[in-house]
Amino acid sequence: TRTQVAVIGAGPAGLTTANLLRQRGVDCVVLEAQSREFIEQRPRAGFLEEWAVRELERRGLAGRLLQQAGQHGAFEFRFAARRHTVRYAELTGHHHFVYPQQELVTDLVAAYADGSAGDIRFGVRDVRLHDLTGDSPSVTYTDPHTGQSHRVECAYIAGCDGARGVSRRHIPAHESVFASHDYGIGWLALLVEAPPSADGVVFGIHPRGFAAHMARTPQITRFYLQCPPGDDPANWSHERVWQELHTRLAVPGAPITEGRIVERQVLDMHNYVVEPMSYGRLHLAGDSAHLVAPIGAKGMNLALHDAFLLSAALTAQLRHGDGARLAGYSADCLRRVWQYQEFSQWFADVLHGATHADPFHARMAEARLQRLLSSPAAATAFCELYIGKL
């Protein structure tokens, strides 16, 4: 097969890139390791920032999203048995749209594959990238049904294959910096069949550890519980989970509604950035280039930001022979990436502060929180980052 852009991975980054390339008359092929059914059901992130929704809307990709997504403009801290609401939409004019990632993925696959007859191949195995520094790179993969090897020849490769993908590993170590940070903290991520217990997001700061509540749909709620890194989810029985959630999150007059736990998984909180995000004809986008621990719901928004920039840059190059945007692609993405990384780190320190072994560190976290809750200027600066209004 010959195409202009080979897109590896059909997550938010890859599918948005592919849709926008096709809209602008650039030919592409998407290669995805999983099946269509699998990616349309895989629960991941769920909060889209308003700037990202407006850009999807401009491109005709937000139809169902705008009909179905709930809007959030406030969240709540709970600590010392009290509630403190932060109304970020009032301070910034921007909202979050609550739309599960698998719903967005479903819409984007439909728009690309069904709506515009785009070429997407599911279940591919052994994806490898070739000749990245030459003029005619290619991607090979094995067809799962026939066992045959295929080659996609292209002009550019969009490496959108997520945190565990293969694209990033094709960049030689001496050609990029891998900057990373490990929090040394685990989060037990839970999906629960229960209606939300509050309108929006609740962050519980507690000496037993951080806990969070995130409304997803009228039937499904996400919860997080701070736990040791690498903890075994089997250590978290139904009883223990609910006991900890009540202890860390419930306050008088605002109970937590229980339900069946349909997913429990331990995330080791860490961040990384690959810099630059480009190597020869390969350009990374989304989690393949940078991971932000799920503090403040930044991952999916950054994936979309990259995809908007990459599709525009590739179009300028391939349709108009203008390479300036592609040359600046990595730096353009990384400005927002580093703002979000810094925000996540700052916020994580506040959220985890109550359990910090070092009392100095713990008191600093408390001071930050007090300032955020008492100074409108500090709150506005925080909220602009929280909603991604940069």
Query: 152 pairs with which residues across the strands?
Result: 139
Residue choice 275, 287, 309, 337 for contact with ligand APR (CB under 6 A)? 287
Q: Are 260 and 152 a contacting pair, CB within 8 Å? A: no
Binding of ligand APR at residue 106 (CB under 6 A)?
no
Residue 128, phi then psi, degrees to nearest 5: -135, 145
Binding of ligand APR at residue 160 (CB under 6 A)?
yes
Q: Are 390 and 336 a contacting pair, CB within 8 Å? A: yes
Alpha-carbon gap, residue 114 to 128, rounded angstroms? 27
Residue choice 10, 111, 185, 188 for contact with ligand APR (CB under 6 A)? 10
Binding of ligand APR at residue 127 (CB under 6 A)?
yes
CB-nearer residue toward ligand APR: 104 or 369: 104
Nearest C-alpha neighbor of 124 from the set 144, 146, 148: 144
Query: 159 pairs with which residues across the strands?
Result: 8, 284
- What's the angle, vertex CA 11, arms to CA 41 and CA 181, rounded to 5? 110
Binding of ligand APR at residue 315 (CB under 6 A)?
no
Size of the site for ligand APR (CB under 6 A): 28
Return the range that interacts with ligand APR (CB under 6 A); candidates 131-139, 209-217, 248-256, 299-307. 299-307
Binding of ligand APR at residue 259 (CB under 6 A)?
no
Binding of ligand APR at residue 165 (CB under 6 A)?
yes
Q: What does the DSSP 8-state code read for residue 296? A: S
Neighbours of 209 (CB within 10 A): 23
Binding of ligand APR at residue 344 (CB under 6 A)?
no
Binding of ligand APR at residue 161 (CB under 6 A)?
yes
Tell me how far, at minimum, the Cβ of 355 lies from ligand APR, in Å: 24
Tell me how far, at minimum, the Cβ of 367 lies from ligand APR, in Å: 30
Residues 6+ away with beta carbon under 8 Å from 4: 21, 26, 27, 28, 154, 155, 156, 314, 318
Nearest C-alpha neighbor of 348 from the set 333, 369, 370, 334: 369
Map the footprint of ligand APR across residues 217-246, applying CB under 6 A. Answer: none
Query: 203 pairs with which residues across the strands?
Result: 77, 212
Residue choice 5, 6, 13, 185 for contact with ligand APR (CB under 6 A)? 13
Binding of ligand APR at residue 379 (CB under 6 A)?
no
Tell me how far, at minimum, the Cβ of 205 lies from ligand APR, in Å: 23
CB-nearer residue toward ligand APR: 274 or 365: 274
Residue choice 5, 14, 19, 204 for contact with ligand APR (CB under 6 A)? 14
CB-nearer residue toward ligand APR: 12 or 209: 12
Residue choice 11, 100, 209, 388 for contact with ligand APR (CB under 6 A)? 11
Alpha helices for 268-328 (secondary structure H): 299-320, 324-327
Binding of ligand APR at residue 19 (CB under 6 A)?
no
Alpha helices for the chain (secondary structure H): 12-23, 36-41, 50-58, 63-68, 88-92, 101-109, 238-249, 299-320, 324-327, 329-352, 359-374, 376-386
Q: Are 268 and 293 a contacting pair, CB within 8 Å? A: no
CA 322 and chain centroid, separation: 30
Residue choice 303, 313, 333, 372 for contact with ligand APR (CB under 6 A)? 303
Binding of ligand APR at residue 275 (CB under 6 A)?
no
Alpha-carbon gap, residue 30 to 17, rounded angstroms? 10
Q: What does the DSSP 8-state code read for residue 128? A: E
Tokens of 220: 């499904």
Return the range that interacts with ligand APR (CB under 6 A); candidates 223-231, 297-305, 325-333, 361-369. 297-305
Map the footprint of ligand APR across residues 20-59, applying CB under 6 A. Answer: 31-34, 39, 44-45
Tell me how far, at minimum, the Cβ of 272 lies from ligand APR, in Å: 13
Binding of ligand APR at residue 162 (CB under 6 A)?
yes
Q: What is the contact surface with ligand APR in residues (CB under 6 A)?
A: 8-14, 31-34, 39, 44-45, 101, 124, 127, 160-162, 164-166, 286-287, 299-300, 303
